[in-house]
Chains A and B, each alone.
Chain A
Amino acid sequence: MVLSRARQSYDGVVLAVPVTVPYQRYSIETAHWWMGKALRALADGAGISHRDFDGFSVASFTMGPDVAVALTQHFGLSPRHIDHVPMGGAAGIVSLRRAARAVQAGDADIVACVAADTNQVDTFRKTLANFSRFAQDASYPYGAGGPNASFALIARHYMDRYGATREDFGKLCVAQRDNALKNPNALMKKPLTLEQYMSARPIAEPFHLFDCVMPCAGAEGFLVMREETAVSLGLPFVRLLSAIERHNAFAEDPVQVRGGWVVDRDELYGMAGSTPGDMDFVQTYDDYAVISMMQFEDLGFCAKGEGPDFVRQHTFTVDGSFPHNTSGGQLSAGQAGAAGGHLGLTEAMRQLLGTAEGTQVKDAKLGLVSGFGMINYDRGLASAAAILARAS
C-alpha cells in the first residue's frame, strides 16, 4: 500500500470577511433566514454580489428538508463548488479545509462558508430526538438529557481519572464570561463569579447551569479565496497555515479521554512551522469546559492528564497568560447550532485582522482554532484544528 506523501501546503489560501449575524435566544425565523443574513453580510463585506460566490459551503442542523443544492436556488447562487458539512462543531474547520483545496486547485475562486441555525421554541428537543441512529437507539432513551448527559459521563470520568475539579471548569467558564462582556454580540451580558458558578443548580452531575451552553439562533460566515483574489478585491485577509481533521479516533478508549487531534497534531504544527508556545491565542470548541481542557492536552499545550494543572497555572481572559475563547465562546456568546463550529474561526480572523475591538488580544499574529463535534453515541466523533496567521 502506498501511503500518502507529505501534504501540500495551504500557501496562498486566505480567509476574509468574518461575519457574525447577532444571535437571538429564540427566533421565529428559519435557518434559511439566518443564512440569507450571513450571505448578504459576506457580499456586502466583500463589496461584490453574492452571485459572484462560485463556491458555497453550508453547515446547519435545521435547514431540513433542504440540502445544499436546494439552497442555491433559495438564495440565487450558482456555485461550481458546493458542500454541506453536517459536522456540528467541526464543520467550520472541515468547510475551510475543503474550500481551501477548491480555491487552490481553481475549482472555485470565492467560497462562502456559512453556518446557520434557528432556534424556535421546540427546535432543540427535536434536534436531539432525531440526532443520529445510534443516539436514537442507544443514548436518547436514557433520560433524554441530550449532550449535557452524554458529556456529563465523559466529564465525571475525566474528573475521576485526572483529578479535575468543578473549580477548574469554573475558572474557564468565568474567564470566558469576562471575555463575553467585552463582546457586544454575546448573549450573556452579566458577570459570572466562581461562587455563582459553583452554587448554580445541577443539570446533569457533575454539570451545573453554567457548564452548559445556551442554544440560540444565529449565523457565522467567512470567505475563502486565493491571496490574489483578496488583493484584487482590496480585502484584508488572514492566512491559513495548516489544518487537520480526524474522525472516530481512539474508538477503543472505553470512555472518551482524548480526541483525534492527537493523531495529527504534529502535522498541524509542522505545516505551520510553529509550536504550541507560538500561539497568541487559542479558540477551542467549548461545548463544555472539560472538552476545552481535553483540547489543551491533545493540541500539545500540556500533556495528557495535565489539563487541570494547566488551567490552574494560567489565566484565560483576553489579557491573560493564555488568551482563550476571546469572544466568550459558546458558553457565553451562545451556541447557534452548527454555527458554534464557525464561531472560533470568525473570532480568530478578527483577532488577526486587528478588528476584534473590545476582545482584541494585543499584537495577535498567530492563533489556533479547534473544532469538535457530533456526539453520535457515547463520544464526540469529529475533531479538527487550524492555525491561522496575520497577513504579514
Chain B
Amino acid sequence: MTGPFLKPKRKNPLARTTQPLLPPQARSRKAHGLTLAAATGRFMLQCCGECGRYTYPAREACPNCLSSDLTFRDAPTGGSLLSETRIEVTSDPYFREHMPWRTGLVQLDCGPIVIVHLHGGCGGPGSQLKLSLQLDRAGQAVFFAKPVSETPHMEDDPQWREMTADPKHRRVLITDGRSPLALPMAQALKKAGAARIFVGVADRWKPLDQQALLAAIEGVEFVDLDLTSERSVQELAMDIGAKVEILVNTADHVRPAHLFDAGAANAAREAMDHTVMGLMRLAQAFGPVMRSRGADGAAGAVAWVNVLSVHGLSNVPQFGVHSAAHAACLSLSQWLRTELRPGGVRVINTFTGPLDTEWFQTVPPPKVAPKAVADAVLDGLKRGLEDIYVGDVAKDIEARLFDNPKAVEREAGQ
C-alpha cells in the first residue's frame, strides 16, 4: 500500500543539494518504439505483421516466424503478476538512492513476459495488473504496473512519482499571466496540490483581465516577467529560479499576416521575439537552476511545459507567422529537452488547435477552451507524458501527420 505524500519539510538552507542522477539510459534503436508510445501515453508493443503475435523485448525478427515485419501496435494493457522482488541492493547510483525498489515479472494478456516497475499497491503473484508505458527520469520508456482498481493515495507511490511530474507540493511558474490559459491553469494546479503558483505578468501597471480571480487562488503570487526582456527574465530567475519545480510557458503571440504583406517580416519578428526568443530567454535563465534541482528532495524540479500550436508541426497559411514561430519553438524545446535531461527534468510539449479566444475569432469550430488545455497539461504532468495533443484539431493533425505528412501540407488552408 502507499501512504500519502506529505508536504516535504522546509529544506535546511545549509544542506547540500542532492545532485540529479539518472536511471540506465542505454537502449537499442528498436526499443524506442516504446518511447514513441510512452511519450503520448499509449501502450504499444511490437506485433508481427505475418503471424500476428506480439513480442517483447524489442526485436528485429519475429521469434515465431522470423518475419521482419514487426511494427509497434496498440496492445491490451492487462496482465497478471507471475513473480516479484524488492531490490534492496543495486550497483546503479540512481536506483541506489531509491532503494528499496519493487519490480515484477508480468505475463501480458497479449502474450509477452515483461519485467515491470511495480506499484506499491499491487498484490502478490497472481494479481491482475494494469500496465502503462512511462518515461523514467532518463526519458526512456519503461513498463509500469498498477493495480487494476484505484487504491488509496495511488498517485503518491514513490516509484510512480519518479515516472511522473505530479504538481502536488511543488511550486509552479506560469510565465504569462495575460494568457487566457493562466487562470484555468492556476486553478487546475491548485486543485492538484501545487504548493505555490507564481504568475508572471509583464507591465504590471496595465490592467490584467483575470487579476481578481487569479488573486483569489490561495498560493498565487504575481511576479514581474516580460519575456521580451532578457533583464526581466534574468531578474526573476535570480529571485525565484530555485523555487520553481514546474515551469508552464503559456506565452504566445497570435497576429495574422500574409507572407507577401509588406509588414510581414515585422510581424514575424515580433512573434518570434515573444515566443521563440522568449522561450530561449526562459531556458537560459531557468534551465540551469531547474536542471540542478532535479533530485532536490521528493518534490524537486521535475517538468517544463510548453504550450505550442499544433500548426507548428505543419504550417497553416491563415496563421503562417504563428505556425513558423511555433515550429521554431518546437525545435528549441527539443534542444531544451536534451539539456534538461541530465537533471531528470522532462520537457512536455502540449500541442493545441486554435483556442477559443479573440485572436482565433475568425476560425470555425472546433476550438479549444483554455480550461481544456489546462486539464490536459495537468493530466500530462500526472501521467508523465512528453507530447500532449489537446482538442479535436490537434488530435486530427497528429493522426494525419503520423499517416501522411504530405497530405497535411497539401490540404492546409483548404
- A and B bound? yes
Please give the distance in Å from B390's CB to the nearest CB on chain A.
30
Residues of A within 8 A of B85 (CB): 145, 149, 152-153, 156, 204-207
Q: Pick from B88, B95, B115, B140: contact of A202, CB below 8 A.
A: B88
Interface string of A232-269 (1 = CB under 8 A from B): 00000000000000000001001100000000000000
Residues of A within 8 A of B24 (CB): 129, 136, 140-141, 144
Flag if A203 contacts B88 (CB, 8 Å): yes
Q: Does A168 contact B (CB under 8 A)?
A: no
Q: Pick from B92, B101, B113, B142: contact of A254, CB below 8 A.
A: B113
Q: Does B104 contact A (CB under 8 A)?
A: yes
Flag if B87 contacts A204 (CB, 8 Å): yes
Flag if A145 contacts B125 (CB, 8 Å): no
Residues of B within 8 A of A149 (CB): 85, 87, 90, 103
What size tier do the contact residues of chain B reach?
35 or more
Flag if A157 contacts B88 (CB, 8 Å): no
Q: A136-B28, A138-B114, A378-B115 are in contact. Are A145 and B83 (CB under 8 A)?
A: no
User: Which interface residue of A124, A144, A160, A205 has the most chain B CB atoms within 10 A?
Assistant: A144
> How far, in whole Å, are A206 and B92 apart by their CA atoms in the complex?
20
Tell me the nearest residue of chain A to B89, going by C-beta: A203
> How far, in whole Å, are A154 and B83 apart by their CA atoms in the complex?
7
Q: Which of B116-138 contact A (CB under 8 A)?
A: 116-117, 125, 136, 138
Residues of B within 8 A of A157 (CB): 82-83, 105, 125
Residues of B within 8 A of A136 (CB): 24, 26-28
Tell me the nearest residue of chain B to A150, going by C-beta: B115
Residues of A within 8 A of B87 (CB): 143, 145, 148-149, 152, 203-204
User: Which interface residue of A136, A143, A156, A204 has the most chain B CB atoms within 10 A?
Assistant: A143
Flag if A143 contacts B95 (CB, 8 Å): yes
Q: Which of B86-110 contact A (CB under 8 A)?
A: 86-92, 94-95, 101, 103-105, 107
Flag if A128 contacts B57 (CB, 8 Å): no
Q: Does A139 contact B (CB under 8 A)?
A: yes
Q: Does A367 contact B (CB under 8 A)?
A: no
Flag if B86 contacts A134 (CB, 8 Å): no
Residues of B within 8 A of A207 (CB): 85
> How far, in whole Å, are A140 and B88 apart by their CA atoms in the complex?
15
What size tier do the contact residues of chain A reach?
35 or more
Residues of B within 8 A of A125 (CB): 91-92
Flag if B115 contacts A160 (CB, 8 Å): no
Residues of B within 8 A of A201 (CB): 88
Q: Which of B9-27 contact A (CB under 8 A)?
A: 23-24, 26-27
Q: Does A133 contact B (CB under 8 A)?
A: yes
User: Which interface residue of A124, A128, A136, A154 has the most chain B CB atoms within 10 A?
Assistant: A136
Residues of A within 8 A of B89 (CB): 145, 148, 203-204
Q: Does A146 contact B (CB under 8 A)?
A: yes
Flag if A141 contacts B88 (CB, 8 Å): no
Flag if A204 contacts B86 (CB, 8 Å): yes
Q: Which of B341-382 contact A (CB under 8 A)?
A: none
Q: Which of B55-91 contact A (CB under 8 A)?
A: 56-58, 63, 82-91
Residues of B within 8 A of A203 (CB): 87-89
Q: Does B36 contact A (CB under 8 A)?
A: no
Flag if A205 contacts B86 (CB, 8 Å): yes
> How far, in whole Å, are A203 and B96 apart by their CA atoms in the complex?
12
Residues of A within 8 A of B57 (CB): 133-134, 137-138, 377
Q: Which of B277-326 contact A (CB under 8 A)?
A: none
> How far, in whole Å, are A56 and B387 apart by their CA atoms in the complex?
54
Flag if B114 contacts A143 (CB, 8 Å): no
> How far, in whole Å, are A207 and B88 apart by their CA atoms in the complex?
10
Flag if B91 contacts A160 (CB, 8 Å): no
Please give the distance in Å from B123's CB to the nearest CB on chain A.
13
Q: A129-B26, A144-B24, A156-B85 are in contact. Are A255 and B105 (CB under 8 A)?
A: yes
Q: Does B31 contact A (CB under 8 A)?
A: yes
Q: Pick from A124, A139, A141, A378: contact of B140, CB below 8 A.
A: A141
Please give the distance in Å from A79's CB to the nearest CB on chain B.
34
> How far, in whole Å, are A149 and B82 apart by their CA atoms in the complex?
14
> How far, in whole Å, are A224 and B104 apart by their CA atoms in the complex?
43
Please give the distance in Å from A141's CB to the nearest CB on chain B.
5
User: Which interface residue of B56, B83, B125 has the most chain A CB atoms within 10 A?
Assistant: B83
Q: Pick from B27, B95, B104, B117: contact of A137, CB below 8 A.
A: B27
Q: Does A142 contact B (CB under 8 A)?
A: yes
Residues of B within 8 A of A160 (CB): 83, 125
Q: Pick from B23, B83, B125: contact of A141, CB below 8 A.
A: B23
Tell me the nearest residue of chain A to B23, going by C-beta: A141
Interface string of B207-243 (1 = CB under 8 A from A): 0000000000000000000000000000000000000
User: Which interface residue of A145, A153, A204 has the most chain B CB atoms within 10 A?
Assistant: A145
Can you name 8 A-B pairs with beta carbons within 8 Å?
A134-B57, A140-B24, A141-B23, A143-B90, A144-B23, A145-B87, A145-B101, A157-B125
9 additional A-B pairs beyond A141-B136, A153-B104, A203-B87, beta carbons within 8 Å, are A137-B57, A143-B101, A143-B103, A149-B90, A153-B85, A156-B83, A202-B88, A205-B85, A378-B105
